[in-house]
Amino acid sequence: MRMLRLVAAFFILPLLGACASSVPQSSSPPPAVQALLDDYLIGVDDEVQVSVWRNPELGITVPVRPDGRISVPLVGDVVAGGRTPDQVAADIQEKLGAYVRDPQVAVILTQLRSHEYLSRVRVTGAVRQPVSIPYRQGMTVLDAVLAAGGVTEFAAPDRADLFRRNEDATTTSYAVRLDRILNRGELDTNYPVAPGDVITIPERTF
């Protein structure tokens, strides 16, 4: 699963960041890691390292603020949240051009913190305690619903849905027959959940 591969890749990010300040922009992480990072959108609390070749005094390592920005020497605030590292580097490079001749900027993710938010599983609707819980490998719909305290007496459990965000930004829904899972032991729709899934249990209509 792509999210799990991405999280695993960040175990070696500190090793990559240690070399960033001494190499030009053309230096990059190993291809297997870089392939996972190229399209990653930076999130709040992710830590990024900005390096400017031959200008180490302009380099910084900072977390992304709640407003999605980072402060860069000479340039000031730059939007990082919701953008890829390459997009942020290009923005900084363009703005630095007013102060530094032919700047070469690299932006490297050194700590992936926002994944803890992105990889959560959420249960909403007619449950005793709507929850947002950390994803765990092997977790199923039933695990998530039980973590929410189960359904209420007003629930329509057989009209529950699991919503999953796809890589192309579309959303797929899966019908969950929660009543059959809970009361009959029929596990056909007890789907394994994925990071970012949302499970919704509607209330009965009277």
Q: Global pTM?
A: 0.51
Q: How confident is residue 36, by pLDDT bands cut at 50, 70 and 90?
A: low
CA distance 2 to 36: 8
Average pLDDT over every residue of 86-111:
95
Pairing of strands 60-63, 47-52: antiparallel
Q: How confident is residue 114, by pLDDT bands cut at 50, 70 and 90?
A: confident
As a whole number, the mean pLDDT across the chain is 83
Domains and CATH numbers, the chain: 2-116 (3.30.1950.10), 120-201 (3.10.560.10)
CB-neighbour burial class of residue 152 (10 A; exposed 0-12, middle 13-18, buried 19+): middle
Q: Could you give the percent of the chain with pLDDT greater than 70?
A: 79
CA distance 52 to 30: 20
Average pLDDT over every residue of 108-120:
79
The pLDDT, as a whole number, for residue 120 is 86
